[in-house]
Structure 1
Amino acid sequence: MSPRILILGGGYVGMYTALRLQRKLRRGEARVTVIDADSYMTYQPFLPEAAAGNLEPRHVVVPLRRVLNRCTLLSGWATAIDVAGRTVDFSPHRGESRKIEYDVLIVAPGSVSRTLPIPGLAECGIGFKTVEEAIHLRNHVLAQLELAASTTDQAVRREALTFVFVGAGFAGVEALAELEDMAHDALRYYPELKADELRWYLIEATDRILPEVGPEMGRWTLEQLRARGIDVRLGTKLESAKDGRIVLDDGTEFDAATLVWTAGVKPHPIVRHSDLPIDAKGRVKATSRLTVEGVDGVFAAGDCAAVPDLTNPGEYTAPNAQHAVRQTKVLADNVLAHLRGGKMGDYRHAYAGSVASLGLHKGVAQIYGRRLRGPLAWFVHRTYHLSRVPTVNRKVRVLIDWTLALFFRREIVALGALSEPRREFELATRDK
């Protein structure tokens, strides 16, 4: 019987590794199985543009069954890993759980939002890691404009037009900038609203934003956001959000109908439910060859793994898409070397730089030491990510979306019923 390769996670690492393996494996050499709760991979750098309406949400996801046509896909959750018994507990969306046996295991479930025990956060907040969250946030922001334009209650109006983002890394800054840009464009259809009525807050516990692009470009981005009327609070923490009442540790209090939490990530919980070696941050201890320390036949990469950075001794690679995608080449080739008794290679990649979009025709970038800003950085951001989004199908669809946006204004419509599609039918059944 051919060896069984089991991949936990269908994100960057899981999908790209499976794709490379199915291309390089000889017929009958091994069987590849991928476990993920979703049937698609989300290209997360495009989530802000999907939320702002610049991209069709379906075009930022890649259907796994289409691209991994020589792999077995299981839709559900891996709930526990038994390295000693070489099994993984699998729970489908419905039905009984079962154990999946493996010969080679690739641990790549990614990360989840890192939250804090802040009163009201679980009830009022929303993350920004999935396409579902991006669509919901877009619909929610537009729904708040509709509410504010329709009500005569000034307290309700102020609350609806107050938007709070916590965390000033890439996710927080890009999401806020794109949605603020979208809301500003939408105001032409809301004569009842004035631009200065919209209040946008960016809350950051440290003393800088976008640390990935360097201090100088971070300061420039801060100036640009504040020039757009965005209230950026550095060195400030969210203390409470109970019942939509935002309380900051600098003494500020106000009501807000929108709270977006983007203050970092942590390894997927499955890592804790295993007998794998983990570090103080809850990441799987990996080697530069992307094998798990002291465990034969188990590999790990991506956000959940502590991978030594050979270009910066003593440090670990950052949990970002750039490293995740590049690690997959070494990972897949090392799995093949493991199966064939060959020599494994080390993962070594110098950080190329970072790019961030700040809205339509606005951006910031630091690439190989060169600093870019404004329209040029925005163009580089789009060009880079277009080259990285998987499959020609998605590249073409994204390019078509961007081309159409040159000639037509983006759609300003809130499809709130998407989150509660049965609500109208339920109301109809009650009206007897």
Structure 2
Amino acid sequence: MARPRILVVGAGFAGVECVRRLERRLSPGEADITLVTPFSYQLYLPLLPQVASGVLTPQSIAVSLRRSRKHRTRIIPGGAIGVDPAAKVCVIRKITDELVDEPYDIIVLAPGSVTRTFDIPGLIDHARGMKTLAEAAYVRDHVIAQLDLADASHDQEERASRLQFVVVGGGYAGTETAACLQRLTSHAVRRYPRLDARQIKWHLIDIAPKLMPELGDRLGLVALEILRRRGIEVSLGVSVAEASADKVTFTDGRVLPCRTLIWTAGVVASPLIATLDAETVRGRLAVRADMSLPGADGVFALGDAGAVPDLVKGGDAVCPPTAQHAMRQGRKVADNVIASLRDQPLQPYEHQDLGLVVDLGGRDAVSKPLGVELRGLPAQAVARGYHWSALRTNVAKARVLTNWVLNAVAGDDYVRTGFLARNPATLRDFEHTDAYLSAEQVRAHTAALRASGT
């Protein structure tokens, strides 16, 4: 009798935790485990701003899957672009662009998210994201290039536009990105004899009325004061009305000469979710508390892909798509997959919030572990201690710790690698949002497979 086939889509926090748990708790002959991911690493997303600012090297937060797994899981290098729950087939585009069809008995959907965009003129062509390792590396090169070009220019208008930076999004990603990059550019002035620190201007804008509301009013105001004290202009209740190559227009009518627009205004579930043609909640699959999808046999969804009911808050609340939840959901869904294989009852996901940490670079941070409000060095120690402990391999921990120590002792460097200099580097290019099939295309594809007998 053939062994059950478990297919896990995505190597983010949820997918990796699920695979690790399955490998530990399933006997070698109990099931076949396959993981679909375009990269052979788990990206530790919360530290991307530190890669963009050069505090950490890209390799530091790319945690090797080959090093952390037990060599039982088969890894398909590619991305899932469609799922047919009726046929129990997942369509995968390999990194060679070859399409393959992967049958499954149980599928765990943890494909993560993509940057949320709006129908704003020029946004797709001129904004840069901060969701992938390539985007962080590109943003770093781009920001340093603006300093280089401004220092070399005799044109005051060009210099002004190159030294003005806009970050959209007052959540964790946007706030930490603006803080870390502002710190980089403020330190860089000492290395550029023709630049003045007063010429470099950073703007952080968000349509929301508060900065990082999850922190609470008091800590949110502390974070706001830290940013403004460092010279970052924070504008709330404002967004982008239009973007071009050398200027950004805000919804309040301001027009800024600007060559750098970093877009971190939220995320949406992977386009893969739409291919299932199932009920969604704000773009995420409407799953039960045990993370199974109603009406679809053997389908589980979690993390950014699943609107998992928040049993602690009750009502219609769903768990926020954070790394903290994704890791715990990954372990719980693995237990439920095993339970379904062994004809045991599935268990609901419940959580206890561990708190929040925000690293603003240097000695600046705000944290709220288990409801305790911290700021300054104690908050920084908690933030970095949490991130360091969450890294899954000792090699990754050693690299991150070494980079932190080196940066603290030697300071920043301002080297451009240049390997992405000629790429258009749009959101679509880096996140491959146009690679997915529609639900109708997936069904037609699998129907053709059945008709051909393959």
State the TM bucket, normalised to the shorter chain. Answer: over 0.9
Cα displacement (A) at 1:189: 0.7
CA distance in 2, matches of 1:169, 1:280: 21
- Report the Cα distance in structure 2 between the residues aligned to 1:96 and 1:113, rounded to whole angstroms: 25
Indicate the SS of the match to 1:370: coil
* Match of residue 70 from structure 1: 72
Q: What residue is the counterpart of 1:207 in the other structure?
A: 209
Bigger mean CA offset, 60-69 vs 30-39: 60-69
Alignment of 1:268-347 (within 5 A): 268-275=270-277, 277-314=278-315, 315-347=317-349
AA paired with 1:144?
Q
Residue 378 of structure 1 aligns to a residue in which SS? helix
Any idea what the Cα deviations from partners look like across 1:136-194, whole Å, max 9, x if unmatched?
A: 11111111111111110001100110100011000000001001011111111112111
Aligned partners of 1:286 and 1:307 also within 8 Å: yes
Contact 1:34 1:74 in 2 (8 A): yes
Write the mapping of 1:26-425 to structure 2, written as runs, cut at 5 A.
26-68=27-69, 69-275=71-277, 277-314=278-315, 315-420=317-422
1:426 is aligned to: none
User: What letter matches 2:356 in structure 1?
Assistant: S
Deviation string for 1:299-338 (max 9, x for gaps)? 1110111000111002100011010011111111111111
1:218 partner amino acid: G
Q: Tell me the distance in 2 between the aligned counterparts of 1:404 and 1:238.
A: 37
Report the secondary structure of 2:374's partner residue: strand
Work out the CA distance in 2 between the residues paired with 1:280 and 1:20: 27
For normalisation by structure 1, the TM-score amounts to 0.94
In the TM superposition, residue 242 of structure 1 has moved relative to its aligned partner by 2.5
- How many angstroms apart in 2 are the aligned matches of 1:324 and 1:115? 23
- Residue 338 and residue 280 in structure 1: after superposition, are their counterparts in 2 closer, same or farther (change >3 A)? closer
SS at match of 2:280: coil
Long gaps (5+) in structure 1: 422-432
Aligned-partner residue type, residue 156 of structure 2: Q
SS in 2 for 1:243: coil
**Alpha-carbon displacement from aligned partner over 1:260-279 (angstroms, at most 9, x marks no partner):** 0000000100100114x332
SS of 2:234's partner is strand
Q: CA RMSD in A?
A: 1.4
Identity %: 40
1:350 Cα deviation after fit = 1.9
Which segment is superposed worse, 231-240 or 339-348? 339-348
User: C-alpha displacement at 1:419, in angstroms?
Assistant: 4.0
Distance across 2 between alignment mates of 1:301 and 1:187: 45
Q: CA deviation at 1:52?
A: 1.3
1:274 maps to a residue whose letter is: L
Alpha-carbon contact 2:68-2:392 (below 8 Å) kept: no
Superimposed CA distance per residue, residues 117-154 of structure 1 (whole angstroms, 9 cap, x where no aligned partner): 11111111011111111111111111111111111000
TM-score after normalising by structure 2: 0.90
Which letter does structure 2 place at the counterpart of 1:29?
E
Farther off after superposition, 22-31 or 242-251 = 242-251
SS at structure 1 position matched to 2:75: strand
Deviation at 1:64, TM superposition (A): 2.0
Matching residue's letter, 1:298: V
Of stretches 370-379 and 396-405 in structure 1, the one that deviates more from structure 2 is 396-405
**Structure 2 counterpart of 1:25:** 26
Q: State whether residues 65 and 73 of structure 1, in contact with CA within 8 Å, keep that contact through their aligned partners in structure 2.
A: no
Is 1:143–1:416's contact at 8 Å kept on the other side of the alignment?
Answer: no
- 1:420 deviation in Å? 4.0
Matches of 2:98 and 2:143, distance apart in 1: 39
Deviates more, 1:304-313 or 1:393-402: 393-402
3-state SS of the aligned residue for 1:272? helix
In 1, Cα distance between equivalents of 2:181 and 2:175 = 10
Gaps of 5+ in 2: 424-454
Residue identity in the other structure for 1:35: V
- Cα gap change, 1:335/1:366 in structure 2, threshold over 3 Å: closer, same or farther? same
Q: Deviations over 1:207-266 (max 9, x none)?
A: 111112111111111111111111111111210002332111111002211000000000
> What's the secondary structure of 2:91's corresponding residue?
strand
Displacement after TM superposition at 1:288 (Å): 1.3
Task: Report how far residue 384 of structure 1 moved.
Answer: 0.7
State the distance in 2 between where 1:36 and 1:186 align: 37
Asked if 2 retains the 8 angstrom alpha-carbon contact of 1:140 and 1:416, the reply is no
Residues in 2 aligned to 1:244 and 1:404: alpha-carbon distance in whole angstroms: 35
1:399 positional shift? 1.4
Partner of 1:429: none
Question: Is the contact made by 2:63 and 2:391 (CA closer than 8 Å) also made in structure 1?
Answer: no
Maintained 8 Å contact 2:161/2:247:
no
The farther-off stretch of 208-217 and 152-161 is 208-217
What is the CA–CA distance in structure 1 between the aligned matches of 2:31 and 2:246, rounded to whole Å?
Answer: 53
Distance across 1 between alignment mates of 2:352 and 2:151: 50
Letter in 1 for 2:21: R
Residue aligned with 1:200, SS: strand
CA contact (8 A) 1:124 1:244 kept: no
